[in-house]
Amino acid sequence: MTRLLLKNLSKQYPAVKANDRVSLRVEPGQIHAVLGENGAGKSTLMKMIYGAVRPDEGEIHWNGRQVEIESPAQARHLGISMVYQHFSLFDTLNAPQNVWLGLDKTSTLEDVTRQIERIAKDYGLEVDLERPVHTMSVGERQRVEIVRALLAKPKLLILDEPTASLDPNSERTVIDGYETVMRNRTTIVITHRLDVASRADRVLVIDGSRLVEQGSPSELALRESRYADLFHVQQTTH
């Protein structure tokens, strides 16, 4: 059964068409990498899947059933988690406290702390459980965000530019960690890194609010189009 199906999804803002009739099929276990210039509509599309933005037109089908995802809370209930490019952590709190605040309080802080320890160990995502967030590096904060997303045991994980804010050393560590995370579940990752996109099953190119190219990494690299040129140029710069 198809995990996620988008049919002609569109979103219009007053000054710009963010997404224009985007259709997409994601099968269970697949990794989809989304490429495109800033402002192309990548993040808006992901936010519609996650319920943070409501589409103006089109349909979202989840596990074979049409759904209207009205909030991130509903998305998480369905089994969809998203890690945003910009962090949403309280600086004065440590990792377990940050994660626990976003839950429904059926679990104690001690329970959440044990779950974080287990997830961090399983995925090789080192997280200091005692230090407040303001003392952490950007890479450490990123790991807290991904552990929080994994705590919900998502069937679909959306990653919005997971390495955009990182220095080169942290970037390499995070990419290696995400390799394990992505290989264990259905994932959509927005990225500018071709070494990340090359690990995907499908690569999607969004340009001018539309999905203009899609295929396997090898198909896209060989395809005679200006997006193939972009693929080759980016791949040689990292």
Residue type, 17: K
Q: Say yes or no to pLDDT of 7 above 90.
A: yes
Largest Cα span, the chain: 55
How many separate domains does the chain show?
1
82-127 pLDDT, tens per residue? Answer: 988 778 899 999 999 999 987 777 889 999 999 999 988 888 778 8
pLDDT at 166: 61
Q: Is residue 115 part of a domain?
A: no
- Cα–Cα distance, 196 to 211 (Å, whole number): 19
Burial class (CB in 10 A: 0-12, 13-18, 19+), 169: exposed
User: How far, in Å, are 20, 84, 86, 175 from residue 161 at the CA level?
Assistant: 21, 8, 9, 11
Task: Tell me the average pLDDT across 146-169.
Answer: 81
In the prediction, which pLDDT does 235 show? 45
pLDDT tens digit sequence for 205-231: 999 999 998 999 888 876 655 555 555
- Kindly state whether residue 113 falls inside one of the protein's structural domains: no
> Is residue 149 a part of any domain in this protein?
no
Does residue 238 register a pLDDT over 50? no
Q: Is residue 43 pLDDT above 90, yes or no?
A: yes
Structural domain includes residue 188: yes
Site of tokens 């190219």: 213
Cα separation, 238 vs 218, whole angstroms = 18
Q: Is residue 26 part of a domain?
A: yes
Say how far apart CA 143 and CA 83 lie, in whole Å: 10
Q: Which of 49, 51, 39, 46 is nearest to 13 (CA)?
A: 39
- Report DSSP letters for the chain, one per residue: --SEEEEEEEEE-SS-EEEEEEEEEE-TT-EEEEE--TTSSHHHHHHHHHTSS--SEEEEEETTEEE---SHHHHHHHTEEEE-SS----TTSBHHHHHHHTS-SSS-HHHHHHHHHHHHHHHT----SSSBGGGS-HHHHHHHHHHHHHHT--SEEEEESTTTT--HHHHHHHHHHHHHHHTTSEEEEE-S-HHHHTTSSEEEEEETTEEEEEE-HHHHHHSSSHHHHHHHHHHTT-
Domain assignment of residue 67, given as a range? 4-92+155-235
68 pLDDT more than 50: yes
Q: Is residue 110 part of a domain?
A: no
| CATH code, domain carrying 193 | 3.40.50.300
In a domain, 118, yes or no: no
Q: What is the pTM of this model?
A: 0.86
Task: Name residue 101's amino acid.
Answer: L
**pLDDT exceeds cutoff 80 at 176:** no
Q: What is the pLDDT of residue 51?
A: 96
pLDDT given for residue 205 in this prediction: 92
Of the candidates 176, 90, 85, 83, the one whose C-alpha atom is nearest the C-alpha of residue 125 is: 176
Mean pLDDT of the chain: 85
CA 209 to chain centre: 18
Q: What pLDDT score does 233 carry?
A: 42
Whether 126 is covered by a domain: the verdict is: no
| Residue 167 binned pLDDT confidence (cut-offs 50, 70, 90) | low
pLDDT at 8 over 90: yes
